[in-house]
Amino acid sequence: MLKNYFKIAIAVLRRRKFFTFISLFGISFTLTVLMVITALLSNVINPGYPDKKRDRCLYIPRLEMTSKKGWMMRTASSFYFLNHFAGSLKTPEKIGIASGSQTSNAYVNNKKLVIDVKFTNADFWDIGDFDFIEGKPYNKSQIDQSQRVTVISERTKLDYFGDVPSVVGKYIEADNVQYRVIGVVKSVPISADAFYGNMYLPYTVSKSDYRSKNYDGPYQAILLGHSTADLEKMQAEYAAIVRKIPVVDKDYDQLYSNADTYFRSVVRDIAGKGNKSGMFVFIASASAIVLLFLLLPTINLVNINITRIMERSSEIGVRKAFGASSRTLVYQFVIENIILTLIGGILGVIFSILVLHFINSLQLIKDMTFTLNLEVLFYSLLACLFFGFLSGVYPAWRMSRLNVVTALKAQ
């Protein structure tokens, strides 16, 4: 029976080429857009090089201060703030502190080279799983002595020194200051914001005063627990410390700083405020957008199916006249629709692979490779089947209610 339904479905799809094209385009386009967006988000949300210990880490990217007058300041923290307050935690195994990437200029053969510089402490290198191509990271002793040493990315090595075998021991000049290269790491994609940089330097050589006791600054912290079981304890411990931090800026009354898992820290940046993470708002909004995105082609498919089925009223009338039950006809049309949806889903996967390959070949975002998220792909195909079934049920139900005489007269 299914084999016959499949043959009929293929014959109908080939006979109604325009309707088939519109339906397949809607399904495959929707799935392609969904998969490409997911691939982009997956690079941000999922653990990757060098942030491979994310399941054991909490992040403190921002602090927020508010006043009763409605003023609000949201910024990264100073080195003092993180080192003094987060640094007093007892639970974490390591506390990495690093600035956001700051642009610095270097000149190679009279051409300006913009380098993203990151200032870090020593624990930063123990938290990130960096692939060292040459040399090693700087240590606490070198940081305390304010040695002008640096670890550069593979990309900076190529851009500044060219294709040479080794650069350890050579000097690189940025913003008119020379640094001795002691290590080269595999380049980090910009999506790994907490670890991204093209040139890493000890925080003690930064031009900004790391001893300043202001709370705001360019730094963020990463807390590494001994295991995932430490996360909750670290959060509670840091929250208890933050509650005791005095607000020294007279313009503000309340201070908020949260140690979050990576995804929660991203969401808090987008939708959070104060102690509210914004997680419910974010998930509800994202779900509504995805649902709407899937629902629109479904509604369109329902309309197309109604038109397509109404055009086949004579066929329906004849089959009913020869004894076909309404249930049999409903099964047939629903299965036809599911087959159509499956074909659209497969085309969507093929288009998604081609689009991602095209984006990767253009290298729109350096050192970042986009791949299909297989889990999302599985659920997207399930969603396609569900909406395909949904969009076939109503037209099939309308068709099953057609009177034989009316159906035959329609032609």
Question: Can you tell me the mean pLDDT for 287-314?
Answer: 73
- Of 125-139, 242-256, 320-334, give the lowest mean pLDDT range: 320-334
Question: Can you tell me the mean pLDDT for 371-388?
Answer: 73
- Confidence band (pLDDT; 50, 70, 90) for 207? confident
| Same domain membership, residue 211 and residue 73 | yes
Top mean-pLDDT range of 26-35, 280-289, 290-299, 387-396: 280-289
Q: Is residue 274 part of a domain?
A: no
149: phi then psi, degrees, rounded to nearest 5: -120, 160
Closest CA to 284 of 296, 271, 294: 271
- Confidence band (pLDDT; 50, 70, 90) for 405? low
| Same domain membership, residue 35 and residue 69 | no
| Same domain membership, residue 356 and residue 313 | yes
| Same domain membership, residue 136 and residue 16 | no
Per-residue pLDDT at 36: 81
| Same domain membership, residue 81 and residue 5 | no
Q: How many residues can be counted in the chain? A: 411
Segments of 38-176 assigned E as strands = 57-60, 63-66, 72-75, 94-99, 102-108, 111-120, 132-135, 149-153, 171-174
| Same domain membership, residue 383 and residue 335 | yes
* Number of structural domains in the chain: 2
Cβ 259 vs Cβ 277: under 8 Å: no
| Same domain membership, residue 24 and residue 77 | no
Q: Is the pLDDT of residue 1 over 60?
A: yes
Q: Is the pLDDT of residue 63 over 80?
A: yes
Report the run of H or E that residue 255 belongs to, with start and end. Answer: strand 254-257
Per-residue pLDDT at 409: 62
Segments of 154-242 assigned E as strands = 171-174, 177-185, 199-202, 219-224
Q: Is residue 268 part of a domain?
A: no
**What is the C-alpha separation between 332 and 184, in angstroms, rounded?**
63
Q: At which residue do the structure tokens 């104060």 appear?
A: 274
Per-residue pLDDT at 411: 52
| Same domain membership, residue 121 and residue 26 | no
Per-residue pLDDT at 332: 75
Question: b/e string for 77-97 if b means 16 or more Cβ within 10 A?
Answer: bbbbbbbebbbebebbbbbbb
Per-residue pLDDT at 328: 77
Q: Is residue 138 part of a domain?
A: yes
Residue type, 117: V
Question: Can you tell me the mean pLDDT for 379-390?
Answer: 73
Q: Is residue 271 part of a domain?
A: no
Average pLDDT, the chain: 85
- Pick the last residue of a domain from 224, 259, 294: 259
- Confidence band (pLDDT; 50, 70, 90) for 5? low
| Same domain membership, residue 201 and residue 110 | yes
Q: Is the pLDDT of residue 310 over 90?
A: no
- Confidence band (pLDDT; 50, 70, 90) for 404? low
Q: Is the pLDDT of residue 308 over 60?
A: yes
| Same domain membership, residue 252 and residue 203 | yes
| Same domain membership, residue 227 and residue 304 | no
Q: Is residue 137 part of a domain?
A: yes
| Same domain membership, residue 66 and residue 40 | no
Q: Is residue 54 part of a domain?
A: no
Per-residue pLDDT at 371: 76
Q: Is the pLDDT of residue 286 over 80?
A: yes
Q: Is residue 73 part of a domain?
A: yes
- Pick the last residue of a domain from 259, 289, 324: 259
- Pick the last residue of a domain from 226, 259, 292: 259
* pTM exceeding 0.85: no
Q: Is residue 56 part of a domain?
A: no
Q: Is the pLDDT of residue 77 over 80?
A: yes
Q: Percent of the chain scored above 90 by pLDDT?
A: 43
Per-residue pLDDT at 160: 95
Higher pLDDT, 385 or 111: 111
Q: Dump pLDDT digits (tens) for 321-377.
A: 777 777 777 777 777 777 877 888 888 888 888 888 888 777 766 667 777 777 767
Host domain of residue 139? 62-259
